[in-house]
Amino acid sequence: MRGLGIWAIRGYLGLMLVFLYLPIVVMVLLSFNQSQFYELPIVWDTVWYQSLAHNDRLIRAGLNSLGLALANTVVATTLGTMAAIAFARYSFRGKFLLEIMLFPPITIPWLIIGISMLIFFFWVGIGRGLHAMLLGHVALSLPYVIMVVGARLKGHGPFLEEAAATLGASPWQAFWRVSLPVMAPGVVAAALFAFAISFDQFVISYFLAPPGTSTLPVEIYAAIRKGFTPEINAISTIIILFSMGLMLLFARLYRFGGER
C-alpha cells in the first residue's frame, strides 16, 4: 500500500507538471508553424519570427516593458533591501504596523490598486506616463523584495556583523564584507521577483499608460482583441527562453540556500 501511495503521488505531481507546461510547449511549437490558423501537421518555418522583426508596435512595447522592468528592479531592490535591513536589525516605534502594512498590496486585487493609483496620481498632479507606471510597479514590487530579503536576513542573525565589529571593522566594512555577501542570494532572488512582477504587469500599466504608449502585456491584450496572430507566440517564446536563461544563469552563480 505504501508503494502504491508513492506512485499515486508521483502520478499526481506528473499530471500537475503536464498541466502547467504542456500549454507552453504547444505555444512554442506553434510559433514555428507556417500556418496562421494553426493547421496540423506542423509545417516548420520561422515566418512569424521574421514578421515579428518588422512589427514596430510589438517591438516598441517590448522595449518599454524591458526598460520599465529594469528600472523597477534597480529602484525596488535598492529601497526594499534598505527597508529589509531596517526591519531585521533595528527596533523603532511603529515597526510592527509597518510590517503589517506590507501585506495589503499583495492581497488587494491589482484592479483595485490600479484604479486607486490612477485617481491618486491625477489628484496629486502626477498624471499618466512612464514615470507613473514606474511608481506603480515599484509600489507593487517593494513588499516582495522586503519579504524575500528579510527572510534571508532572519536566517542569519546579527552575530556575524557583531563579530566583524569586535575585530575592528567599521560599520561600512562590516556591511560590504559581511552583510552583503550573506544576503546576496536573497537580494538576487528579490531582484528577479521585482523584474518578473514589472515585466508581466498588465493592470497597472493598462491604467497608467498614456495614449500611444503601451507595454508588452497591454499590447498583447490589444492584439488578442483585434485578431490573434502567431507573432504573439514568437515573442512569447523569446521571452520564455530569455527568462529561463536568466534563471539558469543565476542558479549557476548562486546556490539560493546560501553558498556561492
232 burial class (0-12, 13-18, 19+ CB within 10 angstroms)? buried
- Tell me the chain's radius of gyration from C-alpha atoms: 22
Q: Residue 254 — very low, low, confident or very high, per pLDDT cuts 50/70/90?
A: low
The tens digit of pLDDT for each residue in 71-121 reads 999 999 999 888 888 887 777 787 788 878 877 777 888 788 888 888 888
Q: What is the CATH number of the domain that holds 136?
A: 1.10.3720.10
> Domain for residue 4, yes or no?
no
> Domain for residue 18, yes or no?
no
Angle, in degrees to the nearest 10, between helices 130-155 and 56-89: 40
Rounded to two decimals, the pTM is 0.78
> Domain for residue 42, yes or no?
no
The tens digit of pLDDT for each residue in 11-52 reads 888 899 888 888 888 888 888 887 777 777 777 878 878 887
Q: Which domain holds residue 225?
A: 52-253
Considering the chain, what percentage of its residues have pLDDT values greater than 70?
A: 91
Q: What is the pLDDT of residue 203?
A: 85
Name the one residue in this structure whose C-alpha cell is 512569447: 236
Domain count of the chain? 1
Contacts 24+ apart (CB under 8 A), 37-40: 38/230
The tens digit of pLDDT for each residue in 189-230 reads 888 888 888 888 888 888 888 887 788 888 888 777 776 677
> Domain for residue 58, yes or no?
yes
Distances (CA, A) of 1 to 5, 7, 13, 217: 6, 10, 18, 48
> Domain for residue 222, yes or no?
yes
> Domain for residue 134, yes or no?
yes
- Residues in CB range of 168: below 8 A, 6 or more apart: none
Q: What is the DSSP string of 2-25?
A: HHHHHHHHHHHHHHHHHHHHHHHH
> Domain for residue 29, yes or no?
no
> Domain for residue 41, yes or no?
no
